[in-house]
Amino acid sequence: MILRPLSGVMMVLLALSSHALFAQEDPAALGCGTLQNAYGPFDYRTDKGRLGIVEKFHFGPGQETLSNKVGLGGNIDYTLRAFPNHHRALMSMMKLGFRERTSKPKGADYTIKCYMVRAEAFRPDDAMVKVIHGLYLIQSGAAQEAVAKFEQARELDSNNANVHYNLGLAYFDLKKYELALESAHVAYAQGFPLMGLRDKLKRAGKWRDPVAGRAGPVAPDLPSAPAEIVPEIESPDKGTPESASES
């Protein structure tokens, strides 16, 4: 997945408007705790100076790839309490839940759903958080809910090719092939490198090459920035992880 962070000015404007655009779930009301923490909470996108110490001890390559199993869930949990919208840590917690086939990985204080709710409540203007939440929903078989998250992400950052790509995947799962095709055209026009969505549409007999000059809507007024690549999640079985107690 490709992340294109917004400029400081744009993030401020979106932060002011995003509460009005999207109703946020209250973490405490859902049993997901409060955002208060001994260290933080900090914004993953902007508080880079405070990020190193957390990643050094709690979210190194071993935790991100799930290869270091010592205290794995607890270390990712620590990272997400200090940086609730830590994109890569959210992805790793999600993958850990699918690997363990549970909604609450071992060592985690909360369910995967809770970490998504906490991240959105912390920074409702963070489009990538909504993308990751959408990925969790689509991998859990909730394509309609995933579409809602991806559409919210598109409202926040319509120049993010990853948003359009994953929205297209969700539309495809709902058999809304024309919308999936439109999203695919936009994603590829914006440089998205993975061909999975195109291949799905081809196998379904729904792919058409875009008409020259009509790749789809792009918002030229939004700033672009160097991309951060975050790997896609793949679960061994598509469907909701085996239930654990929601906390």
pLDDT greater than 80 at residue 174: yes
3 forms beta bridges with 228
Which DSSP category does 228 fall into?
Answer: E
Report whether 143 contacts 167 (CB < 8 A): no
Alpha-carbon span 240 to 104, nearest angstrom: 12
User: What mean pLDDT is reported for the chain?
Assistant: 83
Tell me the C-alpha distance between 19 and 119, whole Å: 14
Q: Which residues pair with 166 in a beta bridge?
A: none
Confidence category of residue 244, pLDDT binned at 50, 70, 90: very low
Residue 212 has pLDDT above 60, yes or no: yes
- pLDDT-derived band of residue 213, with 50, 70 and 90 as boundaries? low
pLDDT over threshold 80, residue 102:
yes
The per-residue pLDDT for 14 is 41
Contact 121, 35 (CB under 8 A): yes
- Report, as an integer, the average pLDDT of 143-168: 94
CB within 8 A of 115, min separation 6: which ones? 32, 80, 84, 90, 93, 108
Q: Determine the Cα–Cα distance for residues 139 and 75; give it in Å rounded to an integer.
A: 24
**For position 2, what pLDDT does the model report?**
45
88-92, 143-147, 169-173, 217-221: which has the minimum mean pLDDT? 217-221
Phi-psi region at 42: left, alpha or beta (left = phi > 0; alpha = psi -120 to 50): beta
